[in-house]
Amino acid sequence: MTIPVKKFISQKILKKEVLESGLCTGCGACVGLCPYQVIYHDRTVQLHACDLENGKCYDYCPRTSTDLNKLRNLLFDAGDMSPEIGAMKGYYFSRATNPQLRENVQHGGTVTALMELALLEGLIDSAIISSPDREFGQSGLVVKDKVELRKNAGSKFTVSPTVAVFNQLEGTKDAGNIGVVATACQALALAKMKLKSVKEDRGKIDQLKLVIGLYCGWAFAAQKFNDLMGQNDIALESISGMDIPAGKNSLEIYTATGTKSFPLSDMQECIRNACHYCLDSTAEYADISVGAARFGDNWEEMRHWNQMIVRTQKGRDLIDLAIKRGVLEVKEAPTESLLQLKKAAVEKKKAALQNIIRKSGSAKNLLYLDCHDPVVQMFLAKQISNKKSR
């Protein structure tokens, strides 16, 4: 049997544009939709050839072209937009009120507290989070109660195919309303589904009620990270947590036998290739984005706080409820912190654009980005002027 020649076989183009180009973020957006693509360790694998045009895999991928302007208009109020960190209705420092909850979390426990609240109040029925998986690094997990939620709190530093779990949700009635904790690439994939969703996925996408974004500078490639740990005699299962303390420029790895510190420059090698082409450090397409406060001189104090950007009305409502229920301590963040955040966000955008141009060979070809997008254009112009001034 001969397969008729088609112009645009989604799977093939996805392979060429994303997988083979090293742009795949491992978010899982193209996985769980069909039997052809799976995540293995942190790699997206095409098992067999699909010959369909207009496949969802291509449409949902955060590294295929997207009309970002349309997406911003769909999700956010025009007045909230900033070029550096996306939509912002408010910017705060926060932490979970419950000290017990804060014990096992990354910083202030804001994400865990918000998801717990959303589940408890019935705003969502299922939360999709990432869960450590000894063998494969991370995998997505559907949780419905706070015990499971707390068990999986904390940053993991490798990618999780969280979106695949959303794709795989069967019997949408059973899942009910859904909330997802997502990195920037995952949040973008979920947002793209709203923009491009096909008929049969419409119901599920309408059930997606909440996306809590995580600030993300980069993630480690699992194999490279595991190799590095191996070289340093750190058993993967002994790692209880990791962090990048403010102002230290190093990665701290917490194990049962103590803390090991690696200079960030040494960790560069381990960073997933795709992260070098990502412009988004604050998960711009979420309802609320949360990161480490990382501000001021007192890290020991601040490490137990988060900073957060409230982006949508839904996000605002949830924060208000959290304050009302007393689960979250929220305070206005100083302007310097916001300026610092924006500065870092701009750095990432500029670096990523530079990498993209280096890869494509032309400022007119920005791979998955549109060079006419107003935000992209702004940073593109800055980059060109920077170059000139040098």
Partner 1 sequence: MSKLLSPAGAKVLFMGNEAIARGALEAGISVAAGYPGTPSSEVIERLAGVAQERKLYVEWSVNEKVALEVAAAASFAGLRSICVMKQNGVNVASDFLLHLTASGTRGGLVLVTCEDPGALSSVNEGESRYFARMLEIPLLEPSNFQEAKDLTKWAFELSEAIGNVVMLRSVTRMSHASGNVICGKLPVKTREAKFDYDGSVMDSQTGPMISTPVVAKHALHQKKLKDVEALFEKSPFNKYVGPAKPQLLIITSSACFLYASEALSMLNLQKRVGILNLSCTLPLPPKLLKKYLRLTNKIMIVEEVLPFLEETVKVLAAGMFAQIGGKTFYGKIDETLPSFGELNPDIVAGALTKIFKIKRKSLPVAYTKELQKAAAIVPAREMTFCAGCPHRASFWNISNAIALDGREGFVCGDIGCYAMAALFPATGYYTTPTLHSMGSGTGLASGFAKLDVFGMNKPILAVCGDSTFYHAVIPALINAQHNRADITFVVMDNAGTAMTGFQPHPGLPTSALKEVVPAVEIAAICKAIGAKVIISDPFDLAATSKILTTFMAEKGSVKVLILRQACALSPEKKGKKIFDVKVNEDLCMGDSCGCNRLCTRIFRCPALTWDRIKKKAAVDEVICAGCGVCYSICPQKAITKTEAASK
Contact residues for partner 1, defined by CB under 8 A: 1, 33-36, 38, 40, 43, 45-52, 54-56, 198, 200
Q: Which of 111, 73, 168, 40 is nearest to 291 (CA)?
A: 111
Q: How far is the CB of 230 from partner 1 (least distance, A)?
A: 13
The secondary structure of residue 25, as a DSSP letter, is -
Q: What are phi and psi of 220, to 5 degrees?
A: -85, 145
User: Looking at this protein, which amino acid is placed at residue 79?
Assistant: G
DSSP for 50-100? ---SS-HHHHH-TTS---HHHHHHHHS-GGG--TTT---SEEEEEEES-HH
From the CB of 276, what's the least distance to partner 1, in Å?
Answer: 20
Q: What are the DSSP E strand ranges found in 165-257?
A: 178-182, 208-214, 239-243, 250-255
Which of 86, 140 has the CB closer to partner 1?
140
In whole angstroms, the minimum distance from the beta carbon of 53 to partner 1 comes to: 9
| Residue 141 CB, nearest approach to partner 1 (Å) | 19
* φ, ψ (nearest 5 deg) of residue 346: -65, -40
**Angle formed at CA 53 by CA 50 and CA 59, multiple of 5 degrees:** 95
Q: Tell the smallest beta-carbon distance from residue 46 to partner 1 (Å).
A: 7
SS (H, E, C) 106-175: CCCCHHHHHHHHHHHCCCCCEEEEEEEECCCEEEEEEECCHHHHHHCCCCCCECCCHHHHHHHCCCHHHH
54/313 with CB nearer partner 1: 54
Closest approach of Cβ 43 to partner 1, in Å?
Answer: 6
Task: Specify the residue, 199 or 388, whose C-beta has the smaller distance to partner 1.
Answer: 199
Nearer to partner 1 among residue 104 and residue 226 (C-beta)? 226
Minimum CB distance to partner 1, residue 38 (Å): 7
Reported as type and span, the H/E element at residue 331 is: strand 328-332
**125 or 201, CB closer to partner 1?**
201
CB of 54 to partner 1, least distance (A): 7
| Region of residue 97 (left: phi > 0; alpha: psi -120 to 50; beta: else) | alpha
d(CA 94, CA 222) in angstroms, rounded, equals 31
Q: What is the dihedral of CA 75, 81, 84, 85, to 10 degrees?
A: -50
- Residues 6+ away with beta carbon under 8 Å from 104: 150, 153, 154
Query: Toward partner 1, which CB reaches closer, 18 or 338?
Result: 18
Residues whose CB is less than 8 angstroms from the CB of residue 389 and which lie 6 or more positions away in sequence, other chains included: none
In the complex, what is the shortest distance from the CB of residue 40 to partner 1, in angstroms, rounded to a whole number? 4
Q: Which is nearer to partner 1, 24 or 127 (CB)?
A: 24
In the complex with partner 1, which residue's Cβ is closer, 56 or 63?
Answer: 56
Q: Which of 153, 151, 218 is nearest to 181 (CA)?
A: 153
Q: At which residue do the structure tokens 């699992």 appear?
A: 222
Could you identify the residue written with the tokens 């604050």?
282
Of 48 and 173, which CB lies nearer to partner 1 in the complex structure? 48
